[in-house]
Structure 1
Amino acid sequence: MGATMITVHLRYEIDPDKQAEFADYGRRWIHLVNRLGGTHHGYFLPSEGDSDEAFALTFPSLASYEQYRAAAAEDAECLDALRFATETKCIRRYERRFLSPLFE
């Protein structure tokens, strides 16, 4: 049996007045995740309904996620993106879940 496919689901509670800053943060991470071996499926930003939630889906396997985390911890661009989020306070908090898809 091959490696189990997973999706890392991130739920962000964002400042609704800082959606532009969060979008900038998201664009940075899409590039970074893809550069560091992940498969980023984009960010899903508020449109209608709740104005303070955004989501991201990344990584096809737990192994690739673990490799990414190790590389990101020392990557200057990643550290700069985290610093940007801290300085702008566009993210209030986030949750990370590991999900296995079920297909027909």
Structure 2
Amino acid sequence: MITCFLRYEVDLDKLKDFEEYGRMWIRLVNKLGGTHHGYLMPSEGASDVALASFSFPSLAAYEQYRKAAATDAECQAAMAFFERTRCFRRYDRSFFRPVFE
């Protein structure tokens, strides 16, 4: 299993847009074979950080998702939504593997 962890710097004036963007990707990751673990939105205080994570059974499965997403019409629409709204300024992506007992 591989988990992708995303850290976003969001535009606080566009949180509703970012939530809509996130809901799109939750459904799309699940549609394309992953398990999305949801988004964590800024709540109290002046934080402009949002987090998200999703998992795939393997790195190869994640790579297949990336290939499929590049040509999927709904994924392209989600990217166009971001281009229109600019609801986040940047993001960092890290990958992790679990360790179980």
The answer as to 2:40 corresponding to 1:30 is no
Query: Any gaps of 5 or more consecutive residues in structure 2?
Result: none
1:73–1:7 Cα change, 3 Å: same
Give 4+ residue runs of structure 1 displaced > 3 Å after superposition: none
Query: Any gaps of 5 or more consecutive residues in structure 1?
Result: none
Higher strand share: 2
The answer as to 2:87 corresponding to 1:100 is no
Shift of 1:49: 3.8
The answer as to 2:80 corresponding to 1:83 is yes
Shift of 1:101: 2.1
Shift of 1:48: 2.1
1:65–1:50 Cα change, 3 Å: farther
The answer as to 2:63 corresponding to 1:66 is yes
Task: Please give the residue correspondences for 1:10-29 in structure 2 after superposition, counting only pairs within 5 Å.
Answer: 10-29=6-25
In the superposition, the TM-score normalised over structure 2's length comes to 0.92
Paired with 1:70 and 1:44, the residues of 2 have a C-alpha distance of: 26
Shift of 1:50: 4.5
In the superposition, the TM-score normalised over structure 1's length comes to 0.89
Which of the residues 41, 44, 48 maps onto 1:52?
48
Aligned partner of residue 59 in structure 1, secondary structure: strand
Root-mean-square deviation over aligned CA pairs: 1.2
Paired with 1:59 and 1:66, the residues of 2 have a C-alpha distance of: 12
Over the matched positions of the two proteins, sequence identity in percent amounts to 62
